């Protein structure tokens, strides 16, 4: 038995990209079905990004889910770069007139789930064997299995919002798809702890032992990271070992304010730059991590996904208004912006980490770049305008 469903847009993936797209389209009266291979609790539990650009907050406003981010998010007018304990503040507000909002991806996801659930819109969770089909036939569909039953969703368009390991990108024929990749020779070990942040702004630190980042989720919850070997086992990283390494990398002046405690989340994430081109094929469009990955150093992954989704929502809405211009130019428009954000995330990653095979010359180059940023308003401004977010197009 096969169950047949019909919708306008079938959205594969209920991460932030898929959920936001669904909300923007539903608000515009466009019918969507969202499917995910995991369930809501699992998706909401994934601790990832923490910094939202103003454009991202605006997208949440457009989606009608910004009440909590405005009530609970922490606006930040600046952040710091540190080199061997010497700190330089990037004055986001002063240099750009803009700022960022600290608010966790877990909360963004929860707000979007709540809105879709309240509106009684359709999800399929725990789906298996998802296959986007007939992409160029004029009659696209998505097949999947749920509890041993075969389903087919017939639709006008398919949005591939299924992350880096999803199936959507792989549905683009190999002779069409080009991919570009850099894998960095280290990972980030991240912890969450219910202690006030060491500083009221984020600190990105380069130290000879490796990178460290002091971030936060609230005034009483801190999110801290250190560069580690990507093959390390979590069992090698007791809280004591983490605190010792983290404090050393922040330097004694900053570490004097550090409040330590028992971590309640600990994970290691690899660092990668990746872009797939084109971001569409026939009736399929990719958005978010399904099409590109950035290393987390510039806090861009989630923001980039949201920018894609805003452009994809606009393209699909114009289609139903009888104008296919934005649909036809979606991939090129998005990729122009994606590459600029890839460049920024790569540049900041190259500046702030210790690379195992760096020669003394490379280390001097990092130091000179930091000194230049610290002494030049133009250089600081270039960092600031990227950090607060480039224009949508
Ligand atoms: P997501 O969040 O990966 O969601 C994709 C969803 O698709 C589902 N899925 C499928 N569903 C149906 N069928 C299939 N075959 C499927 N395959 C996968 C998955 O279950 C999932 O629910 O992608 P999306 O929505 O594009 O959102 C992108 C952001 O999540 C991502 O860019 C950021 O979280 C990246 N990122 C970080 N970004 C930051 O800005 N700061 C960070 O500190 C940060 N830390 C991280 C991160 C990403 C990580 N990943 C992907 C491993 C830490 C980690 C560990
Ligand atoms: C975070 O709070 O998780 C975070 C903040 C800034 C980044 C990456 C991650 O660049």
Question: For 225-274, how does the pLDDT look when each residue is reduced to its tens digit (9 = 90+)?
Answer: 999 999 999 999 999 999 999 999 999 999 999 999 999 999 999 999 99
- Whether the link from the prior residue into 175 is cis, omega within 30° of 0, is no
> Ligand 2, atom 5: nearest CA belongs to which residue?
50
Does residue 50 line the site of ligand 2, with CB under 6 A?
A: yes
Indicate the top mutation candidate among 108, 204, 299 to test ligand 2's pocket, ranked by most ligand atoms within 8 A of CB. Answer: 299
Does residue 269 line the site of ligand 1, with CB under 6 A?
A: yes
Q: How far apart are CA 25 and CA 321, in angstroms?
A: 13
Q: How far apart are CA 153 and CA 6, in angstroms?
A: 6
**Nearest ligand 1 atom, CA 18:** 25
* pLDDT, position 343: 98
- Who contacts 246 (Cβ-Cβ below 8 Å, separation ≥6)? 212, 224, 226, 255, 258
pLDDT at residue 339 is higher than 90: yes
Closest of 286, 308, 309 to residue 24, by C-alpha: 309
Region of residue 109 (phi > 0: left; psi between -120 and 50: alpha; otherwise: beta): alpha
Does residue 17 line the site of ligand 1, with CB under 6 A?
A: yes
Does residue 299 line the site of ligand 2, with CB under 6 A?
A: yes
Does residue 43 line the site of ligand 2, with CB under 6 A?
A: no
Does residue 302 line the site of ligand 2, with CB under 6 A?
A: no
pLDDT at residue 308 is higher than 90: yes
Does residue 15 line the site of ligand 2, with CB under 6 A?
A: no
278, with CB counted inside 10 A (0-12, 13-18, 19+), is middle
Ligand nearest the Cα atom of residue 303:
1
Per-residue burial over 60-91, b = 16 or more CB atoms within 10 Å of its CB, e = otherwise: bebbebbeebeeebbebbbbbbbbeeebebbe
Average pLDDT of the residues in 109-121? 95
CA of 100 to the centre of ligand 2 (A): 12
Pairing of strands 141-146, 149-154: antiparallel
Determine the 3-state secondary structure of 200 from DSSP. coil
55, with CB counted inside 10 A (0-12, 13-18, 19+), is middle
Distance of CA 253 to the CA centre of its chain: 31
Indicate the top mutation candidate among 16, 46, 49, 227 to test ligand 2's pocket, ranked by most ligand atoms within 8 A of CB. Answer: 49
Question: For 32-87, how does the pLDDT look when each residue is reduced to its tens digit (9 = 90+)?
Answer: 999 999 999 999 999 899 999 999 999 999 999 999 999 999 999 999 999 988 99
What tokens appear for 45 in the block? Answer: 């539990």
Q: How far apart are CA 191 and CA 346, in angstroms?
A: 23
Q: What is the domain partition of the chain in residue ranges?
A: 2-53+104-181+271-350
Dihedral sign for Cα 364, 365, 366, 369, please. Answer: positive
Does residue 288 line the site of ligand 1, with CB under 6 A?
A: yes
User: What phi and psi, each to the nearest 5 degrees, are found at residue 200?
Assistant: -80, -10
CA of 51 to the centre of ligand 2 (A): 6
What tokens appear for 279 in the block? Answer: 């971001």
Q: What is the pTM of this model?
A: 0.97
Determine the 3-state secondary structure of 279 from DSSP. coil
CA of 49 to the centre of ligand 2 (A): 6
Q: Which residues are catalytic?
A: 76, 204, 296, 300, 387
Q: Which fold has domain 2-53+104-181+271-350?
A: FAD/NAD(P)-binding domain (3.50.50)
Banded model confidence at residue 122, pLDDT cuts 50, 70, 90: confident
Average pLDDT over the chain, rounded to whole? Answer: 97
CA of 162 to the centre of ligand 1 (A): 8
> Ligand 2, atom 7: nearest CA belongs to which residue?
299
Rg (CA), the chain: 21
Indicate the top mutation candidate among 105, 227, 234 to test ligand 1's pocket, ranked by most ligand atoms within 8 A of CB. Answer: 105
Dihedral sign for Cα 56, 59, 44, 269, please. Answer: negative
Say if residues 168 and 290 touch (Cβ distance below 8 Å). Answer: yes
**Nearest ligand 2 atom, CA 47:** 3
8, with CB counted inside 10 A (0-12, 13-18, 19+), is middle
> Ligand 2, atom 1: nearest CA belongs to which residue?
50
Question: For 149-190, how does the pLDDT look when each residue is reduced to its tens digit (9 = 90+)?
Answer: 999 999 999 999 999 999 999 999 999 999 999 999 999 999
């Amino acid at each position: 038995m096969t169950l047949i469903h019909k919708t306008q847009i079938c959205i594969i993936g209920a991460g932030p990209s898929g959920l936001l797209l669904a909300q923007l389209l539903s608000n515009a009266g466009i019918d969507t079905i969202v499917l995910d291979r995991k369930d809501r609790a699992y998706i909401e539990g994934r601790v990832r990004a923490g910094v939202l650009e103003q454009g991202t907050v605006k997208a949440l406003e457009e989606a009608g889910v910004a009440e909590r981010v405005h009530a609970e998010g922490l606006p930040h007018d600046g952040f710091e770069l540190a080199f061997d304990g010497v700190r330089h503040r990037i004055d986001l507000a002063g240099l750009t007139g803009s700022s960022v909002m600290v608010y966790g991806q877990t909360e963004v996801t929860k707000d979007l789930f709540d809105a879709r659930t309240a509106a009684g819109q359709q999800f399929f969770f725990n789906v298996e064997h998802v296959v986007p089909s007939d992409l160029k036939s004029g009659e696209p569909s998505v097949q999947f299995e749920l509890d041993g039953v075969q389903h087919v969703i017939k639709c006008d368009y398919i949005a591939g919002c299924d992350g880096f390991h999803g199936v959507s990108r792989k549905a683009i024929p190999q002779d069409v798809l080009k991919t570009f990749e850099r894998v960095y020779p280290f990972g980030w070990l991240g912890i969450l702890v219910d202690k006030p942040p060491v500083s009221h702004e984020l600190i990105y630190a380069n130290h000879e032992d490796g990178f460290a980042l002091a971030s936060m989720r609230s005034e009483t919850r801190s999110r801290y990271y250190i560069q580690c070997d990507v093959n390390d086992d979590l069992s090698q990283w007791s809280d004591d070992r983490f605190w010792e390494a983290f404090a050393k990398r922040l330097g004694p002046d900053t570490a004097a304010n550090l409040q330590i405690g028992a971590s309640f989340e600990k994970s290691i994430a690899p660092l990668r730059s990746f872009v797939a081109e084109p971001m569409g094929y026939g009736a399929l469009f990719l958005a978010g991590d399904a099409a590109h990955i950035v290393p987390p150093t510039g806090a861009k992954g989630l923001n980039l996904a949201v920018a894609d989704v805003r452009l994809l929502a606009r393209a699909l809405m114009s289609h139903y208004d009888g104008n296919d211009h934005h649909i036809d130019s979606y991939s090129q428009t998005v990729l122009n912006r994606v590459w600029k954000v890839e460049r920024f995330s790569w540049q900041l990653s190259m500046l702030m980490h210790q690379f195992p095979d760096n020669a003394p010359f490379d280390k001097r180059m990092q130091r000179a770049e930091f000194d230049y940023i610290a002494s030049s308003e133009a250089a600081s401004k270039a960092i600031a305008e990227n950090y607060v977010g480039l224009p949508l197009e």
